[in-house]
């Protein structure tokens, strides 16, 4: 599932990509504001929609789950702060490295080239505000520098 929006020129900006088991609407749960993004399934998905009133009632009945909610919100905020900071970087490689380092933090194997980046070049561009051409050029440069490895068109970091 991806959360995205489009600029006035129609260029997509992906705010984040969620994996299996993550909650899409949690960041708007405790506000009465309209969610400012689109949610788009990028692969076949099962969506479980639970009305806010029922979810809040569940949390009242099971307060032990508040920690999970807070943990999820904190992780989402951490990602947002990292990506906002990377948007200020002038160097495209630094933007991509910020994203890849974040993904690597959540991977069980921290050795070099252990993480296969499951995002397409287009998704990397949309997540970082770069053009696809820039992403391709920078990725090739990062490979020449030994920062990452490309095998069968797959990126390993």
Domain ranges of the chain: 1-87, 89-157
Measured CA distances, 42 to 3, 12, 14, 45, 83 (Å): 10, 14, 12, 8, 21
Per-residue pLDDT of the chain (157 residues; tens, 9 = 90+): 888 988 888 888 888 888 777 777 787 788 888 878 888 888 888 888 888 899 999 999 999 999 999 998 898 888 888 888 887 778 999 999 999 999 998 889 999 999 999 999 999 999 998 999 999 999 999 999 999 999 999 999 9
Locus of tokens 């020449």 = 144
**Contact of 148 with 142, CB cutoff 8 Å:** yes
Calpha distance 120→55 (Å, rounded): 34
pLDDT computed for residue 89 by the predictor: 73
Task: Please report the sign of the dihedral spanned by the C-alpha atoms of residue 105, residue 156, residue 90, residue 13.
Answer: negative
pLDDT computed for residue 3 by the predictor: 87
Give the CATH number of domain 89-157: 1.10.10.10
pLDDT computed for residue 21 by the predictor: 75
Calpha distance 142→123 (Å, rounded): 18
Locus of tokens 């520098």 = 145
Measured CA distances, 3 to 7, 17, 89 (Å): 14, 6, 22
pLDDT computed for residue 153 by the predictor: 94
């Amino acid at each position: 599932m991806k959360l995205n929006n489009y600029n006035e020129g129609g260029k997509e900006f992906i705010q984040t990509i969620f994996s299996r088991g993550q909650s899409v609407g949690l960041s708007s749960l405790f506000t009465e504001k309209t969610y400012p993004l689109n949610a788009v399934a990028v692969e076949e998905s099962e969506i479980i929609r639970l009305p806010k009133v029922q979810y809040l009632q569940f949390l009242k009945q099971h307060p032990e789950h508040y920690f999970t909610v807070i943990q999820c919100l904190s992780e989402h905020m951490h990602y947002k702060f990292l990506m906002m900071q990377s948007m200020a970087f002038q160097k495209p490689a630094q933007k991509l490295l910020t994203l890849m380092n974040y993904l690597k933090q959540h991977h069980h194997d921290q050795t070099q080239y252990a993480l296969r980046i499951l995002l397409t070049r287009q998704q990397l561009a949309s997540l970082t505000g770069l053009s696809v051409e820039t992403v391709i050029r920078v990725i090739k440069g990062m490979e020449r520098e030994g920062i990452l490895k490309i095998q069968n068109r797959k990126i390993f970091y």
